[in-house]
C-alpha cells in the first residue's frame, strides 16, 4: 500500500511541474498592467484547474503507467490495492521492479503525453489583459474628446468640493451637523445648506428631484426640507428623506374597556395613561365629566387636571387609583374622561383620546322607584350583540388564564355576560310568538299534542254515539259499519290536509309571519343561546363559546336571507304610445339598465401628451419635466414610490430611452390607471336576437 501511495505522489508531482508554466505565465500579463481584479480572477481559475488536475491524476494514473511502462504488465492498479493472494503476489513483483522501471524521465514523458502545457490559455490571458489595458488607457493616450464631464482634467486643479450643513428646527432638539454628499435622513423643516469648498470650479449645479435646480457658488445654496427628494451633483445621485413630525400617541391601559361597570361594593377605580411623542410633549391634560342625577335633573361637573412631566420629555406615564369619594361618585353616577396631548412642533399638533366611561351601578330599589315615577324619561337599556357577548367571553377566559382572578370576580363577570345573553335570547324569542319555546323537541312535542288533541277528543264521543245514539230517523238497521269507516277516513284525510297546508293561529309559534325555514333557524339560534346562558350561569365560560358561535352563525344566516324587492308606490311609469305597440320599432328606445356616468379624462392634456410621447422614441414636449414633477409631487403619496419616480425623471432627462416606460408607468400609476373600470354596455335584446342565439346562428359565418 505504501508503494502505491508513493507512485501516486510521484505521478502527481510530475503533472504539477508540467502545468506550472501555465499558472505562472498566465499571471504575468495581469502583473504587467497591473490589474488587481484580473489577477484575482486568474488566481481563481488556477485554483479550479489545480483541483481538476488532482482529480484526474487520482483516477487515471494506473492507465497512464500501463500504457507507458510495459514492465507493469497492465497491473498498475494492483499497486494501490490487492485483495486476493494472487493479486498480492503480483503486487510484490511490481514493487520489486518499480524503481528500475519507472524513472523521473519516464514520469515527465507520461506527464507531457497526458497533461497539456496550456499555451493557448496563456495567449487568451495575455489578450484579455491587453484589452483591459487598452480600454483603461485609450482616452488619455489618444486625447479623444469626451462628452462634457463635470470632473475634467482642465478643472481638476480648481475643482471644488461640496459640504452639506443640516440645521434641524429648534423644537426637535437635534443638533446641527455637517457631512459630505451622501444619503441623509432629516426631520421635517430642516434647513439644508450646500456649500462649496476649495474653489468654485466645475459644474456645481444641484438638481433636486422635485424640479428645482440650485447652484451654490460664493454663496451657499439653501433649501427647506418639506418632502423627500432625490438630488444629484456632478452625476452622483443621493437621497434626502424627510421624517415627518408625528402627533402624540395616547395609550390608556386602565380601564381596559371603553365602558367600565363597577361592582356594587367597589370603592375605587384605577386610571393608567401613557403619552408618547417623537420629540417633546408640551402639554397633556386629563378631562373628566361627572354626570349625576337622572331624567331631567341630570347635572354635569367638568374637571381638568394636568398630567405631570417626567425626566424623559418624550414620555409621560401617569397612573392613579381614585377613591370614589374623591371623585364624588354616588350610586347611579357616570364619569366620562379623556386625555388631550399637545406636542412642541412649530405647528402644534393636538391629539385627543377616545372617551371612556366609568359607571357606578344604582341600587335596585332606587331604579324601580325612578322607573315607576317617571316612566317617560326612562330609556330601555340597549342590547349587546351576539358578537360582543363572544368578545366578552373570550376576554374573561383570557383574564382567567393570565391572572389569578378572585372567584367572586369570575362569578360576577360570568353572570353579567349570562344576563346579556338572556336578554338577547328573549329578544329573538319574541319572533317565535313566546319566550318559553326554546328547544326543538319541546316545540315538536307541542305541535304533535296540538295535532293529536282533536282526534283524541273525538274518539270517545264517536264510540259513545255509536253505542247509544239509538235509532236514527227512518229506523234503519244498526249494521252501518262500512259507511262509518268511510266517514272516518274522510275526516282523517281532511285533518291531514289541514295539518299539512293549514295555518293554525291557536299555536303561539305559528302566529307569526315567518315561514318554516326562518323559524327553524330561529329555533337553532335560541337553543344555542340557551346552552350558552346555562354555561355562563354555571361559571364555565369556556364551554359557552361553542354555542355562542353557533348562535352567531344562525343570526348571520337570518341576516343574509333573501329579501323581497318592492317598487315604490309613488312610481308612475310613462304612458305607452299606442301607435308604437307591436310594431317592432326600436328607434329612440333606451335600455332600462342603469349605466355609469361618462368617465372624465383623468389626465390633463399636457400630461396625456407626455405619456403618449414616452411610449416611443419621439421628442418629448417642451417643459415636460415641470409637468412630470408637478404630477408626481401631487399624485404619488408614498415616499419610496415618489423617489423612484423622481429617479426615472432624471434618467429620462439624461437621454435614457430604456427608462421611458418606467416613467410612463409611474405617471399612469399616479393617475390611477391600470385598474379595471367596469362600464355597463347598453344593448337591446329582442325576441328575434334571443332566438337567433339559441339556434346557433350567431356562431355561423
- The answer to whether 537 and 529 have CB atoms below 8 angstroms apart is no
Q: How many CA atoms lie within 13 A of 471 on its CB side?
A: 5
Q: Per-block average pLDDT, block size 10, for the chain (701 residues)?
A: 68 86 87 85 89 86 77 70 73 69 79 84 87 72 42 47 90 90 91 84 82 86 90 88 92 91 90 94 94 78 92 93 92 92 91 93 59 40 75 90 85 91 87 52 39 38 39 43 50 60 53 71 90 92 92 84 45 68 70 53 76 86 87 86 89 88 86 49 71 66 42
pLDDT at 468: 40
Pairing outcome for strands 213-214 and 268-276: unpaired
Burial class (CB in 10 A: 0-12, 13-18, 19+), 362: middle
Considering only the C-alpha atoms of the chain, give the largest distance between any 2 of them, rounded to a whole number of Å: 152
Give the torsion sign (CA, 65, 70, 74, 79): negative
- Alpha carbon distance 262, 358 (integer Å): 7
- The answer to whether 680 and 594 have CB atoms below 8 angstroms apart is yes
Q: Is residue 125 helix, strand or coil?
A: helix
pLDDT at 340: 95
The contacts of residue 635 (CB under 8 Å, 6+ apart) are 670, 671
Cell 367571553 belongs to residue: 393
Grid cell listed for 163: 459640504
So where are the chain's domains?
A: 2-137, 161-243, 249-364, 381-461+511-565, 603-701
HEC states along 131-155? HHHHHHHHHHHHCCCCCCCCCCCCC
Picking from 351, 509, 338, 369, the residue whose alpha carbon sits closest to that of residue 438 is: 509
Q: Which residues pair with 186 in a beta bridge?
A: 242
Grid cell listed for 649: 425623471
Q: Is residue 519 helix, strand or coil?
A: helix
Picking from 290, 282, 397, the residue whose alpha carbon sits closest to that of residue 334 is: 290
Give the torsion sign (CA, 183, 185, 188, 193): negative
| CA angle centred on 378, ends 373 and 380, rounded to 5° | 135
Question: If you count them, how many residues does the chain have?
Answer: 701
Query: Rounded to a whole number, what is the distance in angstroms from the first to the last CA of the chain?
Result: 87
- The answer to whether 192 and 299 have CB atoms below 8 angstroms apart is no
pLDDT at 111: 81
Grid cell listed for 119: 499555451
HEC states along 275-334? EECCCCEEEEEEEEEEEECCHHHCEEEEEEEECCCCCCCCEEEEEEEEECCCCCCCCCCE
Q: Which residues pair with 223 in a beta bridge?
A: 192
- Alpha carbon distance 167, 24 (integer Å): 58
- Alpha carbon distance 62, 493 (integer Å): 107
- Alpha carbon distance 536, 411 (integer Å): 9
DSSP characters over 141-207: HHT--PPP-SS-TTSTTTB-EEEEEEE--GGGTPPPEEE-SS-EEEETTEEEEEEEES--BS---EE
- Alpha carbon distance 89, 430 (integer Å): 108
Picking from 660, 662, 644, the residue whose alpha carbon sits closest to that of residue 237 is: 644
pLDDT at 503: 52
Burial class (CB in 10 A: 0-12, 13-18, 19+), 80: middle
- Alpha carbon distance 237, 183 (integer Å): 9
Model pTM? 0.42
Ramachandran bin of 235, using left for φ above 0, alpha for ψ from -120 to 50, beta for the remaining angles: left
Picking from 250, 246, 270, 245, the residue whose alpha carbon sits closest to that of residue 340 is: 250
Identify the helix (H) or strand (E) that includes residue 276. strand 268-276
Q: How many CA atoms lie within 13 A of 79 on its CB side?
A: 25
Q: Is residue 259 helix, strand or coil?
A: strand
The contacts of residue 504 (CB under 8 Å, 6+ apart) are 450, 510
Peptide bond into 381 cis (omega under 30): no
- The answer to whether 234 and 151 have CB atoms below 8 angstroms apart is yes
Identify the helix (H) or strand (E) that includes residue 287. strand 281-292
Q: How far is CA 513 from CA 102, 503, 556, 563, 565, in A?
A: 112, 10, 20, 14, 17
- Alpha carbon distance 402, 550 (integer Å): 26
Q: How far is CA 148 from CA 103, 153, 204, 234, 586, in A?
A: 68, 11, 14, 11, 71
CA dihedral 276, 279, 280, 285 (to 10 degrees): -30
Picking from 271, 268, 354, 257, the residue whose alpha carbon sits closest to that of residue 319 is: 271
Domain covering 249-364 in this structure, CATH number: 2.60.40
The contacts of residue 595 (CB under 8 Å, 6+ apart) are 679, 680, 682
- Alpha carbon distance 118, 216 (integer Å): 59
pLDDT at 159: 60
- Phi then psi for residue 572, to 5 deg, are -125, 110
Grid cell listed for 197: 469648498
Amino acid at each position: 500500500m505504501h508503494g502505491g501511495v508513493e507512485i501516486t505522489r510521484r505521478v502527481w508531482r510530475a503533472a504539477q511541474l508540467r502545468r506550472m508554466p501555465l499558472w505562472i505565465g498566465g499571471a504575468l500579463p495581469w502583473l504587467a498592467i497591473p490589474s488587481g481584479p484580473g489577477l484575482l480572477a486568474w488566481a481563481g481559475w488556477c485554483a479550479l484547474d489545480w483541483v481538476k488536475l488532482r482529480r484526474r491524476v487520482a483516477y487515471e494514473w494506473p492507465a497512464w503507467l500501463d500504457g507507458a511502462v510495459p514492465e507493469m504488465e497492465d497491473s498498475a492498479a494492483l499497486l494501490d490495492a490487492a485483495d486476493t493472494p494472487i493479486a498480492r503476489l503480483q503486487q510484490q513483483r511490481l514493487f520489486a521492479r518499480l524503481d528500475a522501471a519507472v524513472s523521473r524521465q519516464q514520469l515527465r514523458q507520461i506527464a507531457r503525453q497526458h497533461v497539456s502545457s496550456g499555451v493557448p490559455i496563456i495567449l487568451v490571458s495575455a489578450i484579455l489583459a491587453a484589452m483591459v489595458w487598452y480600454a483603461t488607457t485609450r482616452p488619455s493616450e489618444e486625447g479623444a474628446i469626451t462628452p462634457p464631464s463635470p470632473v475634467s482634467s482642465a478643472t481638476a486643479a480648481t475643482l471644488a468640493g461640496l459640504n452639506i450643513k443640516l440645521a434641524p428646527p429648534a423644537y426637535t432638539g437635534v443638533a446641527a451637523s455637517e457631512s459630505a454628499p451622501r444619503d441623509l435622513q432629516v426631520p421635517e423643516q430642516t434647513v439644508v445648506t450646500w456649500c462649496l469648498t476649495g474653489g468654485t470650479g466645475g459644474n456645481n449645479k444641484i438638481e433636486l428631484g422635485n424640479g428645482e435646480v440650485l447652484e451654490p457658488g460664493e454663496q451657499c445654496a439653501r433649501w427647506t426640507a418639506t418632502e423627500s427628494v432625490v438630488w444629484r451633483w456632478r452625476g452622483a445621485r443621493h437621497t434626502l428623506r424627510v421624517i415627518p413630525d408625528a402627533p402624540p400617541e395616547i395609550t390608556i391601559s386602565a380601564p381596559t374597556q371603553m365602558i367600565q361597570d363597577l361592582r356594587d361594593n367597589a370603592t375605587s377605580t384605577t386610571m393608567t395613561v401613557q403619552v408618547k411623542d417623537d420629540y417633546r410633549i408640551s402639554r397633556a391634560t386629563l378631562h373628566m365629566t361627572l354626570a349625576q342625577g337622572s331624567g331631567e335633573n341630570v347635572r354635569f361637573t367638568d374637571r381638568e387636571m394636568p398630567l405631570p412631566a417626567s425626566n424623559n420629555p418624550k414620555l409621560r406615564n401617569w397612573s392613579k387609583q381614585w377613591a370614589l369619594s374623591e371623585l364624588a361618585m354616588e350610586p347611579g353616577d357616570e364619569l366620562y374622561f379623556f386625555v388631550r396631548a399637545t406636542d412642541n412642533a412649530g405647528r402644534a399638533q393636538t391629539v385627543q383620546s377616545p372617551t371612556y366611561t366609568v359607571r357606578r351601578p344604582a341600587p335596585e330599589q332606587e331604579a324601580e322607584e325612578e322607573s315607576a315615577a317617571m316612566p317617560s324619561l326612562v330609556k330601555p337599556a340597549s342590547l349587546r350583540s351576539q358578537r360582543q357577548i363572544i368578545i366578552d367571553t373570550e376576554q374573561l377566559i383570557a383574564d382567567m388564564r393570565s391572572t389569578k382572578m378572585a372567584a367572586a370576580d369570575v362569578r360576577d363577570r360570568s353572570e353579567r355576560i349570562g344576563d346579556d345573553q338572556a336578554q338577547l335570547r328573549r329578544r329573538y324569542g319574541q319572533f317565535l310568538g313566546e319566550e318559553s319555546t326554546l328547544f326543538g323537541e319541546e316545540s315538536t312535542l307541542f305541535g304533535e299534542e296540538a295535532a293529536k288533541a282533536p282526534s283524541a277528543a273525538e274518539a270517545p264521543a264517536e264510540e259513545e254515539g255509536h253505542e247509544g245514539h239509538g235509532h236514527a230517523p227512518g229506523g234503519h238497521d244498526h249494521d252501518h259499519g262500512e259507511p262509518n269507516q268511510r266517514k272516518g277516513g274522510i275526516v282523517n284525510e281532511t285533518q291531514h290536509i289541514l295539518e299539512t297546508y293549514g295555518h293554525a293561529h291557536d299555536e303561539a309559534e305559528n302566529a307569526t309571519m315567518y315561514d318554516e325555514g326562518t323559524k327553524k333557524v330561529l329555533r337553532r339560534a335560541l337553543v344555542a343561546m340557551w346552552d350558552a346562558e346555562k354555561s355562563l350561569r354555571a361559571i364555565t365560560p369556556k364551554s359557552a363559546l361553542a354555542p355562542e358561535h353557533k348562535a352567531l352563525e344562525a343570526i348571520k344566516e337570518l341576516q343574509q336571507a333573501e329579501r323581497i324587492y318592492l317598487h315604490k308606490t309613488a312610481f308612475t311609469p310613462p304612458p305607452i304610445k299606442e301607435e308604437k305597440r307591436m310594431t317592432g320599432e326600436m328607434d329612440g328606445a333606451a335600455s332600462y339598465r342603469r349605466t355609469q356616468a361618462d368617465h372624465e379624462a383623468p389626465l390633463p392634456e399636457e400630461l396625456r401628451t407626455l405619456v403618449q410621447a414616452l411610449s416611443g422614441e419621439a421628442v418629448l414636449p417642451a417643459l415636460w419635466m415641470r409637468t412630470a414633477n408637478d404630477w408626481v409631487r401631487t399624485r404619488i403619496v408614498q415616499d419610496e414610490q415618489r423617489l423612484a419616480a423622481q429617479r426615472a425623471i432624471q434618467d429620462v432627462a439624461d437621454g435614457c430611452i430604456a427608462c421611458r416606460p418606467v416613467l410612463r408607468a409611474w405617471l399612469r400609476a399616479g393617475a390611477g390607471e391600470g385598474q379595471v373600470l367596469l362600464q355597463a354596455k347598453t344593448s337591446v335584446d329582442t325576441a328575434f336576437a334571443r332566438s337567433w342565439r339559441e339556434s346557433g346562428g350567431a356562431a355561423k359565418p
